[in-house]
């Protein structure tokens, strides 16, 4: 049940606290790259994901109104206003629906009815598949918790973020939310909800963007169809992906670059067998391998978006050139970025 606009607006403890503590907070959350285990993670197998140093920024400000106001120019929303307690999502671009739904879920969960303005700004394009929806969802919820002085653990933030993503999109394992919240590089399993940070150094990854925007729910449905048709085969593929994740976890902590590269290549072959690679992704993957990358695979849902290559310093330049020569765009990123946090004294807007 949502909080209706006619609700008795006698201030809640949180709202009084917000007036005393903060009028405006700014939060940032990182994007992510899936390293191993995409798709299988939907079927309760583990995966490994890293947070990247391209961030989503959110500013939340209290207002003396009964409205939630959104400004999200990166997703084409100059200004959107919603009476608190209403659900007027239609016509809102998908990117802004995560923000509007996050505010509603937070207000409902904590019984809040104060006016607020939320501004979002992304350092990365939502086209890349770096998880702009999960980063914005997490950052908005964290911003509201800071604004209203609600103490919220990472686990509670994850649960509210996960509910929001499921409300908007219907599908998703939540691995991207874990990366946005905890940061670093994470071993993640949704069914049994294991989220374990891995103590590792930055990875020598080259990222190549295909120039094609992939639609995650469509690719998840494609794999669901495959699973329906070839259940036994699909489960065995997911089990092999799960073994790869376990071995990659060891290889990452032992810094065994050669093993990691081989595991990436095997993971790519299995993703191809599920039907989620594409000509463009395969071309970038092979170009990177031929240029000396230790291993290469698609990252995320497939169908487009990005591929990743493990490239040691001596091969990095050639790998980048080879990716660009066949039409890919090299994105400069660093792995293991900090999770969601409040930005002190920042001046993004
Ligand atoms: C998409 O980046 C990764 C998938 O496994 C979907 C998910 O886990 O939510 C395909």
Euclidean distance between CA atoms 207 and 100, whole angstroms: 31
Residue 348 pLDDT? 63
Residue 118 pLDDT? 97
Residue 8 pLDDT? 44
Residue 162 pLDDT? 97
| Residue 347 designated active-site | no
Protein residue closest via CA to atom 2 of ligand 1 = 300
Residue 245 pLDDT? 98
- 133 CA distance to ligand 1 middle (Å): 12
- 51 CA distance to ligand 1 middle (Å): 15
What are the two backbone dihedrals, phi and then psi, of residue 311, each rounded to the nearest 5 degrees? -125, 115
Which residue is catalytic, options 53, 74, 167, 176? 176
Quickly list DSSP for 133-198.
HHHHHHHHHHHHHHHTT----HHHHHHHHHHHHHHHHS---SHHHHHHHHBSEEEEETTTTEEEEE
- 84 CA distance to ligand 1 middle (Å): 32
Residues of the chain under the 70 pLDDT cut: 1-11, 21-22, 88-90, 192, 345-349
Residue 193 pLDDT? 79
Quickly list DSSP for 70-86.
EEEGGGTEEEEEEETT-
Residues with C-beta less than 6 Å from any ligand 1 atom: 34, 38-39, 41-42, 172-173, 175, 216, 220, 300-301
Euclidean distance between CA atoms 10 and 113, whole angstroms: 9
- Residue 213, CB-side half-sphere exposure with 13 Å CA sphere: 6
Residue 5 pLDDT? 40
The answer to whether 220 and 42 have CB atoms below 8 angstroms apart is: yes
Residue 4 pLDDT? 38
Atom of ligand 1 nearest to the CA of 220: 10
Atom of ligand 1 nearest to the CA of 40: 5
């Amino acid at each position: 049940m949502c909080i209706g606009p006619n609700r008795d607006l006698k201030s809640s403890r949180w709202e009084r606290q917000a007036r005393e503590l903060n009028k405006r907070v700014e939060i940032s959350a990182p994007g992510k790259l899936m390293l191993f285990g995409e798709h299988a993670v939907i079927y309760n197998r583990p995966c490994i994901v890293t947070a990247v140093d391209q961030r989503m920024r959110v500013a939340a400000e209290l207002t003396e109104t009964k409205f939630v106001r959104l400004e999200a120019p990166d997703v084409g929303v100059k200004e959107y206003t919603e009476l608190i307690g209403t659900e007027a999502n239609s016509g809102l671009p998908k990117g802004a629906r995560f923000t509007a739904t996050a505010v509603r879920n937070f207000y409902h969960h904590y019984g809040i009815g104060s006016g607020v303005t939320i501004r979002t700004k992304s350092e990365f394009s939502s086209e890349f598949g770096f998880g702009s929806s999960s980063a914005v969802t997490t950052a908005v919820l964290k911003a509201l918790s800071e604004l209203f002085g609600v103490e919220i653990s990472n686990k509670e933030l994850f649960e509210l973020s996960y509910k929001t993503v499921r409300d908007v999109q219907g599908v998703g394992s939540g691995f991207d939310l874990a990366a946005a919240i905890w940061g670093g590089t994470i071993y993640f399993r949704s069914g049994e909800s294991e989220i374990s940070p891995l103590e590792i150094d930055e990875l020598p990854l080259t990222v190549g963007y295909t120039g094609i925007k992939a639609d995650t729910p469509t690719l998840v449905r494609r794999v669901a169809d495959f699973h329906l048709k070839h259940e036994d085969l699909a489960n065995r593929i997911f089990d092999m992906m799960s073994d790869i994740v376990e071995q990659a976890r060891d290889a990452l902590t032992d810094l065994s670059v050669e093993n990691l590269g081989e595991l990436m290549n095997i993971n790519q072959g299995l993703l191809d067998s599920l039907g989620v690679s594409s000509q463009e992704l395969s071309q970038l993957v092979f170009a990177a391998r031929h240029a000396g990358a230790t291993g290469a695979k698609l990252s995320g849902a497939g169908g487009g978006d990005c591929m990743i290559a493990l490239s040691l310093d001596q091969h990095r330049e050639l790998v980048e050139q080879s990716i660009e020569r066949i039409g890919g765009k090299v994105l400069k990123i660093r792995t293991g970025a900090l999770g969601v946090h409040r930005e002190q004294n920042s001046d993004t807007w």
